[in-house]
Structure 1
Amino acid sequence: MKNILSCGLFLSFIFPVKAQRINDSIQIEGHYRAFHFNKPSQSFRQPNLIFVLHGSGGNGLGMMTAATKMEKQASAQNTLVVYPDGYQRYWNECRKSSPAAANREDVNEQAFFKGMIEYFSQRYQIQKKHVFAVGTSGGGHMAYKLGLTMPASFKAITAIIANLPDTDNMDCVPSGKPVAMMIVNGTEDPINPYNGGLVMLGNNVNMGTVRSSEQTLAYWADLARYHGKPTEETLADTDPTDGKRIERYTYKAKGKPEVVLLKVIGGKHDYPNDIDVHQEAFTFFMRQIGQSTPKPANE
């Protein structure tokens, strides 16, 4: 699979004819910030809300294609999915070294997400206690920022091919409060090093250093006050030809937010074939609110 740093950047949007795509924006501190979604069914009642966040250089429309399977599943389970656009295709996430305009201008991402939550609350009466975010690469870093700085607004987060910034590369002020977190990282990722280190994008763009995946897992587990080792599970290798296999490490206890690492052995800066990462995120999200997620009949 090709590098998906700017996942879906040049992909066209394809969805069933019945879906009505809505493109809208809200003004945040002088900037119109755009987002996209499919108009929810009239059967929706206080739906859950999921934000799907694109990687550096991407856009929300591209992620609509990447998350097609999850969108179908979500629409059948009273869940509205929204695809925001970063500021000039990037997010003001927590990496101090990021040269993106969003970071240099310190655009107010928290206000953007609070504004979108209010937008969907007013128009579709979303369940505000059931708001989630899943992001890929730079979008994974933005998802971390939401978990670090807005845990009261998000029930659970999923970050894909992204590790937390190292302490000397962190420019967010963490709340210190726990949130349910799932991390999906590849051991052979040349951009987001599994064992931590320097992140370099194309054209020698230096994004600074990140922690290892195990340190990232430990950070969220420590916030939730887990002790000892996580439970381990090897997932079914449904595509032996892709050279990847997945191990799941889970911290889970009654009364605590679940914290999970999916270690994609042989995975690079891409999605594994053995699972659909967005459907996996959806299952993780629904589990946090006690809802099961049967596999769609046409899958």
Structure 2
Amino acid sequence: TKKIISFFIFITTLNVSYAQGYISETIQHDGLIREYSIYVPASYDGTANFPLLFNLHGGGGTNSVWQASSDMRPIADTADFILVYPQARPDPSDGNSFNWISKVPGAFDDVPFFSSLIDTIASNYQIDQNKIYACGYSLGGDMTFELGCKLNNRIAAIAPVARTMQANPNSFCSPVHPTGVLTILGTDDFVSIYNGIVFAGIEYYISAAATHRYWATHNNCDTTATVNIVSPSVERYTWSTASGCAYVEELKVIGGGHDWPGSFGNMTIDANIEIWQFVSRYDINGLIGCITTSINVNNGQTDNKQLIKIVDLLGRESKDLKNQLLFYIYNDGTVDKKIIIE
């Protein structure tokens, strides 16, 4: 009991001392007042577009505690990006604890909330719309995958920590551009099992290997990774395209648990630093400065061209990729007409 009490005192103290500098904001979405904390570095003066990074707390958590546990402000100050910690909504199926929800069919879906949140932030700050990123811990990592899949037209790269993908990703994940994906996973995680979660014969989460194979395939990477030994307890696996563009990485923490390395758990790497160093290499077209291979969402065939924008019949850039005719415009002057039926 003494250990538990000391832990909560520690977290509360961190929250008081580190929360200064964040701005608490709200937006109304889906009939609810949603909360988020935003950090704008002192270097921001409105004359340049800044990248945007979302950092998502775990299931049952709060953004205020999570921003103390994974404080990325020092990195935002030096790298010049806007940092946002959103708050999940009460989950009626889990005693109204704060959980990220993306259940279709179902009453709630947080993916549109993030799209609205991007619009709100972009209306108040100069945001680089080509450099919007998401990372998250545990259930927040789950939601990070959801954003990489279902809000792919706005999210350039993702970094889920302590979570693999939900089962049957082909049924819900439709990337429309080359997408950078970094995972940080512990081999002894007792919550997000490294080799996937199967209960009563039903697969709920796929293994780490299947997760990386999925994204390597969609990014047209070699499905065999190269391995670099970071430390005796951390291995870096990298999946790259034929032209050498790296799109998928795993930081495999040997013996690691349900952790955010550098804050708790393994301390030989710092998840905050690793995440920003990875995602900042990408924009909405893929790895910056590299000849990328775009993804054909209709049949999986690929060619060497970069997606510039997606417009509807009236020439308006479209954020909704479902159930309408859209025109995918590429840098080589070609245009693909596509309809994604859901």
Answer whether TM exceeds 0.5 for this pair.
Answer: yes
Shift of 1:257: 6.2
What aligned pairs does 1:218-229 form with structure 2 within 5 A after superposition? 218-229=213-224
Q: Distance in 2 between matches of 1:82 and 1:113?
A: 11
> Is 1:275 aligned with 2:269?
yes
Instruction: State the shift of 1:287 in Å.
Output: 2.1
Contact (CA 8 Å) 2:221, 2:247: kept in 1 or not? no
RMSD of aligned C-alpha atoms?
A: 2.8
- Structure 2 match to 1:32: 33
Shift of 1:129: 0.5
The normalised TM-score by structure 1 is 0.78
Q: 8 Å contact 2:43–2:77 — kept in the other structure? A: no
What does 1:1-299 correspond to in 2, within 5 Å?
A: 12-14=14-16, 20-41=21-42, 43-44=44-45, 45-68=48-71, 70-88=72-90, 89-93=98-102, 105-106=107-108, 108-167=109-168, 173-177=172-176, 178-198=178-198, 209-237=204-232, 245-253=233-241, 254=243, 258-271=247-260, 272-288=266-282, 290=288
Change (3 A) 1:190 1:75: same
Higher Rg of the two aligned structures: 2
Unaligned residue ranges in structure 2 (runs of 5+):
5-9, 91-97, 261-265, 290-342
Q: Does the aligned pair in 2 maintain the 1:110–1:146 contact within 8 Å?
A: yes
Quick one: higher RCO (CA 8 Å, sep 6+), 1 or 2? 1
Bigger drift between 110-119 and 254-263 goes to: 254-263
Q: Which amino acid aligns with 1:182?
A: L
Deviation of 1:173 after TM superposition, in Å, equals 2.4
Q: Normalised by the size of structure 2, how large is the TM-score?
A: 0.69
Percent of aligned pairs with the same amino acid: 26
Q: 1:181 to 1:34 in 2, by over 3 A?
A: same
Secondary structure at the aligned position of 1:165 is classed as coil
Q: What SS is found at the alignment partner of 1:128?
A: strand
Q: Give the number of equivalent residue pairs.
A: 260
Contact 2:228 2:235 in 1 (8 A): yes
CA contact (8 A) 1:179 1:257 kept: no
> In structure 1, what is the equivalent of residue 339 of structure 2?
none
CA distance in 2, matches of 1:175, 1:67: 29
Matched AA of 1:128: Q
1:74 and 1:247, CA in 2 relative to 1: closer, same or farther beyond 3 A? same
Gaps of 5+ in 1: 3-7, 97-102, 200-206, 238-244, 292-299
1:8-37, Cα deviation, whole Å (9 max, x unpaired): 9856425569x5321111111211111002
